[in-house]
A and B are shown apart, each in its own frame.
Chain A
Amino acid sequence: MESFSKEVEEEMIKCSRCGLCRAHCPVFEYKGRESWNARGRIFLIKALLDGKLSVSEELLDRIYSCSLCKSCDEACPSSAKVSDIIKDVRTSLAKTGIGPLEGHREMARAILTSGNILGEKVRLIDVVPTVKTLPDIAPTMLFAGCVVSSSYPNIAEALIRILRKAGYDFTVIKDGENCCGKFLDLVGLGEEFSKLVGNNWKILSEMKIREIVTICPLCYSAFAHSLPKGESFSVQHSTELLLNLLDEGKIAFNRRLDANVTYFDSCHLGRYGKIYDAPRSLIEAIPGVRLVEMDKSKELSRCCGGTVRVPYFDIRTGMSEAIAKSAKDAGADYLTTACPTCYHNLRVVAFDHSLTVCSIEELVGYSMGLIKQIPK
């Protein structure tokens, strides 16, 4: 494997091997073995560079099972950016043709051929009824993302109803979005990601869009961190926009929900996007709701495992299980999230814990009387 950039080498050196990442690595929480922890991964990468170990299937598992959630980055006393190191290794592996894994390649092919990570071209106008009512041209683009378009159009429906009620001037790409490509970036295919996000910027630019609102935190991360030079776009996550509308008095929450609600911080909205308070402020503004926090939240929240679901289904389920258990221990009736991927993964495990998983958009839509009930 080729050596790293100087910056990444410096990050490697910062790891003092103290092991405090054991307390926060969600993959380690599930696996309980040192090689599946941030410290173990650093040991292995260093051994790979020093020639003490060579690439093997088992070693690749440790490299690609890291969900890049950044929990270790937050917990690391010497501020080593472990997620940057892992990403750099994945980039090197991709350059030499060793990585990414076959499952990742399939997903990459799906993205490149269909424009959607799930492999099927979806036209929002076909799956979200209110899309028909939106104008063709508007200054703001609501970007739904692959998971919402394919699997959870109910989230987009709720948000569109809310924004229309607020009188917000926006539209969507009715004939079908093209994936932002963030997933490719995470598995080490940075160049492919740059092309995809670049194409999206071109389309948005041609449509004279000035503001992008995303539902998916990965899309948020993709757009917010790749702003084209010389052009002034603003990128907002839906929870930020909803809170602004609430503060400006353009939306109001009238319907009560007498329940304990907890909020799960998505990695890409929280640790990557530093947005922790907007979703919580929205939840607390709903009459009757009591916001309860899980044992780990905000900077140190767990990860649902969505980014490692392929090919590590078991790890994803184990990681999501830990969140559901924590939500139940906190006394929550509802487990909310502002990320469609987390939404999907948490729904897989919530039933066993008698929890209702819902999105912030659904919760707000319900409280505004725009949707009849929160789907279970």
Chain B
Amino acid sequence: MQAEVANIVKRIEEIVGQENLSTELIERFCYSRDFSFVDVEPEVMPDVIVWPTLVEQVSQIVKLANQYELPVVPRGAGTGEHGGAMPIRGGMLLDFTKMNKILEIDQENMTCLVEPGVVLDRLDFVLSKDGFFLPPTPASSGACTIGGCVANNSAGYRTVKYGSFRNWVLALEVILPNGDIIWTGSSTRKTSSGYDLTRLFVGSEGTLGIFTKIRLRIHPLPECRKVFLAFYNNLDDASEAIVKIMASKIFPSSAEIMDRMSIEAVARYGIKLPKIGGMTIIELDGGEKDVMERLELVKDITLQCGATETRVGASAEEDAKLWRARKSVTPAFASIKPNVIDEDIAVPVTKLPELFKRIEQLSEELKIDIATYGHAGDGNLHPDILFDQRNPDEVKRAIMAVGKLREITMDLGGTLTGEHGIGLRRAQAMTMEHSDKEINVMRLIKRALDPNNIINPGKMYL
């Protein structure tokens, strides 16, 4: 096998050049990990890491891998928390860092065409110069890539109004597992032509094909954005406010919630926040007059629901600082407890108050810290289980908490993951949410496109 791998590596080198490939032990070690809290024992490393620069290169090396049945794992920035980019069966890791060109910004048709390795914040910065933005804003936007976002159908704090990545991808250039290059979708803003393969590939977590070009819709920047903060003694009041705001046709661009520990984590970034049981962050965007009117409605609802203090962000700079801090909540917990399991459950919005109650009960029952925050307007919460890996008993309780959280979510009619994906970490839980027959359909699709199971194998319970 090793001799065969060496032979394949030689042929890959002929395709991409020596400078775009590594078999160095320490590089392979670094690429065996990502943000997920999954350490595979014993270590499984990729045999080779490749940094392709051209579409044709990707096509040729995937074709080669298919011929030799060598696993291929595509990777953006390794900021996923479900282990989707971990090469658990070795093989070839394709790092798209070098395919990072913004190929076109078409203002008239309000679309852009990018390579998969473009970092989200960089695209947003470039778009903002022309008065546009890409609404889905995952917390990792400073480092994550568009390819990774599309592969995981990522979302973020503006999804409540604008939807997740699936709503913004118009067309994809995809390398199929046999090396064929296809285009899905259309550059038009709508299409009813054939199966919607674009929507199938978005969120497929690199298990069906590999993206090499992505055409996205873009949106004009709103005239005005306002952030409204409200503080509550407890999460019951905060979640009730969210439910009422979402039912009131106010249509916020963000509706976030935070518990006490999350508020403390954000306050560490120099933002003055009271030590209190719950907080909601509502962002409104649109015409200035309209935003100001809706802001009053939001204020009324929060006060009716028991907000003890409210305030409007003083300036765009202060709001930006708050969002930056908000995006850093999960990794910031590492300074409270060394290890964090970040969950990503979603339930119907009306079930939020009950979900919070049950998370609190679970935390007490298992004697483990669970810090909860998230995109409450979508019913999507991130209960983060905080523990210390050096304490075996705590590890046991943390793992138990994950299982129980999923049971609670299913009980409330929810989903395992709102925006992060299944990957490796949630693979075994797929049967909790999907019937055998449904999973079988997914497996049939996988086998039809990837009969040798070479593209990101071992993920998504496929």
Seen from chain A, the residues whose Cβ lies within 8 Å of a Cβ on chain B are 13-23, 32-35, 39-40, 43-44, 47, 52-53, 56, 58-59, 62, 75-80, 295
Query: How far is A52 from B78 in the complex, measured between Cα atoms in Å?
Result: 21
Q: A19-B79, A34-B30, A34-B31 are in contact. Are A78 and B140 (CB under 8 A)?
A: no
CB of A43 within 8 A of CB of B25, answer no
Minimum CB distance partner of A24 in chain B = B142
Query: How far is A76 from B29 in the complex, measured between Cα atoms in Å?
Result: 22
Q: How far is the CB of B413 from chain A (nearest CB, A)?
A: 31
CB of B335 within 8 A of CB of A19, answer no
Count chain B CB atoms within 10 A of each CB in A19, A22, A35 and give the residue with the most.
Answer: A19
CB of B26 within 8 A of CB of A22, answer no
Seen from chain B, the residues whose Cβ lies within 8 Å of a Cβ on chain A are 22, 24-27, 29-31, 33-35, 43, 49, 51, 77-79, 95, 97-98, 119, 121, 125, 140, 142-143, 268, 328-335, 338, 340
List residues of chain A with CB within 8 A of the CB of B98: 32
List residues of chain A with CB within 8 A of the CB of B26: 35, 44, 53, 56, 58-59, 62
- The residue that A78 contacts in the complex, of B25, B27, B33, B334, with Cβ under 8 A, is B334
CB of B78 within 8 A of CB of A78, answer no
Q: A19-B78, A32-B97, A32-B98 are in contact. Are A43 and B331 (CB under 8 A)?
A: no
Q: How many A-B residue pairs have CB under 8 A?
A: 101
Q: A19-B77, A53-B29 are in contact. Are A78 and B143 (CB under 8 A)?
A: no
Q: How far is the CB of A189 from chain B (nearest CB, A)?
A: 24
Query: How far is A18 from B25 in the complex, measured between Cα atoms in Å?
Result: 22
Query: How far is A17 from B342 in the complex, measured between Cα atoms in Å?
Result: 13
CB of B35 within 8 A of CB of A17, answer yes
Q: A13-B338, A16-B35, A22-B143 are in contact. Are A78 and B79 (CB under 8 A)?
A: no
Q: How far is the CB of A60 from chain B (nearest CB, A)?
A: 10
List residues of chain A with CB within 8 A of the CB of B329: 77
List residues of chain A with CB within 8 A of the CB of B49: 33
CB of A47 within 8 A of CB of B29, answer yes
List residues of chain B with CB within 8 A of the CB of A17: 33-35
List residues of chain A with CB within 8 A of the CB of B125: 295
Main secondary structure, interface of B, reads mixed
CB of B22 within 8 A of CB of A22, answer no
List residues of chain B with CB within 8 A of the CB of A78: 331-335
List residues of chain B with CB within 8 A of the CB of A23: 119, 121, 142-143
In the complex, given contacts A19-B34, A75-B142, what are 17 additional A-B residue pairs having Cβ atoms less than 8 angstroms apart?
A13-B338, A14-B334, A14-B335, A17-B33, A18-B330, A22-B143, A23-B121, A23-B143, A33-B51, A33-B95, A34-B30, A34-B95, A35-B24, A44-B30, A78-B331, A78-B332, A79-B332
- The residue that A14 contacts in the complex, of B95, B97, B338, with Cβ under 8 A, is B338
- The residue that B140 contacts in the complex, of A19, A33, A56, A58, with Cβ under 8 A, is A19
Minimum CB distance partner of A12 in chain B = B338
Minimum CB distance partner of A13 in chain B = B338
List residues of chain A with CB within 8 A of the CB of B338: 13-14
List residues of chain B with CB within 8 A of the CB of A35: 24, 26-27, 29-30
Query: How far is A343 from B291 in the complex, measured between Cα atoms in Å?
Result: 49
Q: How far is the CB of B160 from chain A (nearest CB, A)?
A: 23
List residues of chain B with CB within 8 A of the CB of A39: 30
Q: How far is the CB of A211 from chain B (nearest CB, A)?
A: 32
List the 10 closest pairs (A to B, CB-CB), nearest first: A77-B328, A78-B334, A77-B331, A16-B334, A18-B331, A13-B338, A23-B142, A40-B30, A34-B30, A16-B331
